[in-house]
Amino acid sequence: MNKTEASVTIALAAIPNSGKTTLFNRLTGSGQATGNWPGVSIEQKSGSFVLGEYSINLIDLPGAYALSPVTEEERVVRNYFLQSPPDIILNILDARNLYRGLGLTLQMALSGLPMVVAVNMIDEARRQGISFDLKVLSQHMGVPVTELSARTGEGIPDLKQNLYKVIKYPEKTRNPHISCPPLLEKAFSEITEAINQSGIDTRLDHTFLAMRLMEEDDPEQRANDDKVAVVTRQWYRRLKQSLRTSIPVACANCRFNAARGLAMEVLHDQPAFEDQLTKQLDRIFLHRFFGLPIFFLLMFLLFQGVYGLGAPLQELLSTGFDRVGTWLASQALVISWPVWLQSFLFDGLWQGISVVTSFFPIIALFFFFMSLIEDSGYMARAAFLMDRLMHWLGLDGKAFITILLGYGCNVPAVQQPGPDSWDIC
């Protein structure tokens, strides 16, 4: 990294539901800009904040489970990493379940880019009686690890300090080693050799590039060097024949074997008591017979709350606007104005503002209640309850949330960036 350059790009990458958006908001505050990733309707969010003498451009990548893409979101993340590698990766793990996110973390640790890991939701994990030794994690991966809670803000200064250190004193860390079946290892090393010889200019680790190639459906076309393409083709055919699973599954197997061992070493105490409260609540809210009636009751209450409280406010606002409008229109000064101007001001402008403003209470209340439901974790449960119905419509359970949003206002429903922004639990 060039030290004289004051602007640093950090990419925030994590699996869905790890509190990515919360951390993003926590770090950037109001300095955000949204757009779309080129060619797809997936929201691209970036924000900025200042860290010592550096100005940081933080890019919020869509939630992805791996860099070998299955979903559109993962394709966006893969392309981003390969085409415009960030200066630093900021990865998030869910403290309540390290294993789940470690697959992606290990994959990114192999990229050769500097990385900082944030173990999020530490407060929740503590409450569940989980404790761990994050030094072990840090040593194994060769990257700094910070425990934090994006929700409460705990540990954020530590994270900033770690990021600062990585920017200020970049040092080449060794990549973690993930052991794979011998045949895969051999494939990777030969392709890496070919990439080395191709003289490619990249900040990405060559073994990482070899892995990315082999985990694609069309590795040959992706190789931008003839020799690499030849070696890749040979190995791709050979592996397809001799592996019992597809190559991406075999690779995922290697990663998660490592992740399992790592999680075991890092975890001190298995939760002494599991999250009994959540379990009990799930038993009621997802009950075979009561689950749906409870769901409909809650939705009924939501709409009652929104319209019951919102409608009188709306009434109040619109009568207020009417009165003020009539009063203004009756002023001597105003009456002396030409009729077209009066009409423009009162029938046009004033009326317009009045109509739009009177919707405000309903929309605000709707979002308030939605955020209550979301924070409680019921949203994910509702998606589970509704999945069958939505699946029948060709959507998935989470789409129901979008439909619900549409009742408040069509704009956010259409804007709805995708399932990734809804945190489970």
Partner 1 sequence: MTTTQHMPVSALQPQSECIIRSLGSDDKTAQRLAQMGILPGTHLHIIRIAPLGDTIEVTGDQGQSFALRQQEIAAMTCEPVAMPLDSELVKVGQTYRIRALTGGKTFRQRMERSGIKEKKLLQIKRTGNKPVLVCQVDLNKQVELGRGEAKKIIIERISNEQN
Give residues in contact with partner 1 (CB under 8 A): 65-66, 68, 70-71, 97, 99-100, 103, 244-246, 248-249, 252-253, 256, 259-260, 263, 282, 286-289, 291-292, 384-385, 387-389, 391, 397
Q: Which 3 state secondary structure label does DSSP give 9?
A: strand
Picking from 56, 55, 77, the residue whose alpha carbon sits closest to that of residue 66 is: 77
* Shortest CB 162 distance to partner 1, Å: 26
What is the smallest separation between the CB atom of 29 and partner 1, expressed in angstroms?
A: 32
Q: Which is nearer to partner 1, 168 or 391 (CB)?
A: 391
**CB within 8 Å of 100: residues ≥ 6 apart:** 15, 94
Kindly tell me which of 128 and 162 has the beta carbon lying closer to partner 1: 128
CB distance 94 to 16 below 8 Å:
no
Residue number, 307 or 384, with CB nearest to partner 1: 384
Q: In degrees, to the nearest 5, what angle opens at C-alpha 96 toward C-alphas 93 and 100? A: 55
> Least separation, in Å, of the C-beta of 274 and partner 1?
8
For residues 174 and 288, which CB has a smaller minimum distance to partner 1 in the complex?
288
Least separation in angstroms between CB 401 and partner 1: 15
We find the least distance from the C-beta atom of residue 93 to partner 1, in angstroms, to be 12
In order of 213, 278, 291, 293, 373, the CA distances from 284 in angstroms are 47, 10, 7, 11, 16
Query: Could you tell me where the beta strands, DSSP code E, fall in 224-314?
Result: 267-269
Q: Which is nearer to partner 1, 190 or 275 (CB)?
A: 275
Q: Which residue lies nearer to partner 1 by CB, 100 or 160?
A: 100
Supply the minimum distance, in Å, between the C-beta of residue 248 and partner 1.
Answer: 5
* Rounded Cα gap, residues 12 and 100, in angstroms: 17
Query: DSSP labels for 58-111?
Result: EEEPPP-S-SS-SSHHHHHHHHHHHHS--SEEEEEEETT-HHHHHHHHHHHHTT
- Tokens in use for 85? 């590698």
